[in-house]
């Protein structure tokens, strides 16, 4: 009976192939939703798009969570192997980061639910960050195991401050400072190691090339975390913002080349959150710089609006291609 079910049901193979990194889609969709909220401050119509995106994002997170639970129940060995693989282990941080970001859109529906989801996200983020730090030190690694995803677990603590502004607490400021300092401290050596691997040792496997854009996220998110903590544009925060934009511009030709040459993989969703974080940081800088540097702020706002529309097309393509892969049972897209 079990054998017959496996042969005639297409779902198990898709469930087995679902990678944990697909939770990066939740991160990207959340970032896109927040960017459209910023856009809606100029054009109120886009509030409707932001609302639709928030509902869709929550739906995607719910579906992925169910699929991933099924994977651990029915395909435990494959799920365990994914967790033990040094090249994919770091992608488990996309789950905890999603829990840190979702309260930013959940809050409009339920402040209480948003708070508890954020608390769970904060707790799991710190646990996983400490575990990964222990894993890196305890386990012997080779340079070719280094991928941009290595920045996600520990540097992911930078995602704690943005949603903290929704809540009130005596020690949130201390939590934000701790998260900000640890995230920035580890971002610098990790990114240096990853660049060293790429430049001096060996290029990333072709399937991982789009993940290079992850290197934009630490600086863009660090800026957003700093802005959430101090609510000001300072030379240091602007430096974080500038570095993120510079890395994006430097990696853009590589990203365009990789997506032209490679067949679609769901790992391409890795590009979504870094770009969304950069766009949100651009909106924030434009807002904070408006009083002292109005021409710069207006130009930056115009560029960001155009970037958001182009980014929306990228997200639409990723949604279409992922849905097609599921409907057509293109399991290779998920590997």
pLDDT one-digit tens code per residue, 27-79: 999 999 999 999 999 989 899 999 999 999 999 999 999 999 999 999 999 99
Q: Quick check: 39 and 310 in contact, CB under 8 A?
A: no
User: What whole-number distance in Å separates Cα of residue 232 and Cα of residue 226?
Assistant: 8
User: What whole-number distance in Å separates Cα of residue 39 and Cα of residue 41?
Assistant: 5
Q: What is the pTM of this model?
A: 0.92
User: What whole-number distance in Å separates Cα of residue 37 and Cα of residue 298?
Assistant: 18
Domains of the chain: 14-333 (1.50.10.150)
User: Span 174-184, mean pLDDT?
Assistant: 96
- Residue 124 CB-density burial (10 A; 0-12 exposed, 13-18 middle, 19+ buried): middle
User: What whole-number distance in Å separates Cα of residue 2 and Cα of residue 308?
Assistant: 48
For 9-18, what is each residue's pLDDT tens digit? 444 467 888 8
Which pLDDT belongs to residue 335? 64
User: What whole-number distance in Å separates Cα of residue 23 and Cα of residue 138?
Assistant: 27
For 70-124, what is each residue's pLDDT tens digit? 999 999 999 999 999 988 999 999 999 999 999 999 999 999 999 999 999 999 9
User: What whole-number distance in Å separates Cα of residue 260 and Cα of residue 222?
Assistant: 30
């Amino acid at each position: 009976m079990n054998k017959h079910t496996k042969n005639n049901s297409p779902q198990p193979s898709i469930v087995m192939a679902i990678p944990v990194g697909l939770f990066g889609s939740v991160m990207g969709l959340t970032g896109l939703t927040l960017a459209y909220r910023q856009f809606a401050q100029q054009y109120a119509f886009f509030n409707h798009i932001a609302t639709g995106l928030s509902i869709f994002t929550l739906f995607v997170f719910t579906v992925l969570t169910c699929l991933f639970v099924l994977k651990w129940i029915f395909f435990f060995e494959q799920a365990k192997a994914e967790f033990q693989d040094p090249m994919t282990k770091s992608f488990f941080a996309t789950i905890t980061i999603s829990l840190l970001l979702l309260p930013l859109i959940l809050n409009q529906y339920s402040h209480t639910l948003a708070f508890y989801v954020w608390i769970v996200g904060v707790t799991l983020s710190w646990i996983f960050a400490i575990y990964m730090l222990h894993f890196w030190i305890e386990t012997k690694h080779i340079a070719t195991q280094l991928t941009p995803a290595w920045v996600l677990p520990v540097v992911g603590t930078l995602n704690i401050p943005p949603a903290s502004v929704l809540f009130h607490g005596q020690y949130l400021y201390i939590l934000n400072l701790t998260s900000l300092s640890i995230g920035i401290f580890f971002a610098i050596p990790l990114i240096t190691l990853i660049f060293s691997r790429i430049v001096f040792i060996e290029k990333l496997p072709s399937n991982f090339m789009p993940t290079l854009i992850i290197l934009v996220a630490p600086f863009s998110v660090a800026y957003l975390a700093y802005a959430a903590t101090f609510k000001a544009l300072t030379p240091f925060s602007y430096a974080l913002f500038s570095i993120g934009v510079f890395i994006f511009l430097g990696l853009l030709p590589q990203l365009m080349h990789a997506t032209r040459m490679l067949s679609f993989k769901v790992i391409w969703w890795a590009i979504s959150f870094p770009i969304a974080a950069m766009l949100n940081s651009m909106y924030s800088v434009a807002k904070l710089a408006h009083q002292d540097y109005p021409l710069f702020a207006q130009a930056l706002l115009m560029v960001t609006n155009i970037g958001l529309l182009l980014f929306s097309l990228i997200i639409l393509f990723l949604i279409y291609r992922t849905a097609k892969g599921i409907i057509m049972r293109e399991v290779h897209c998920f590997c």
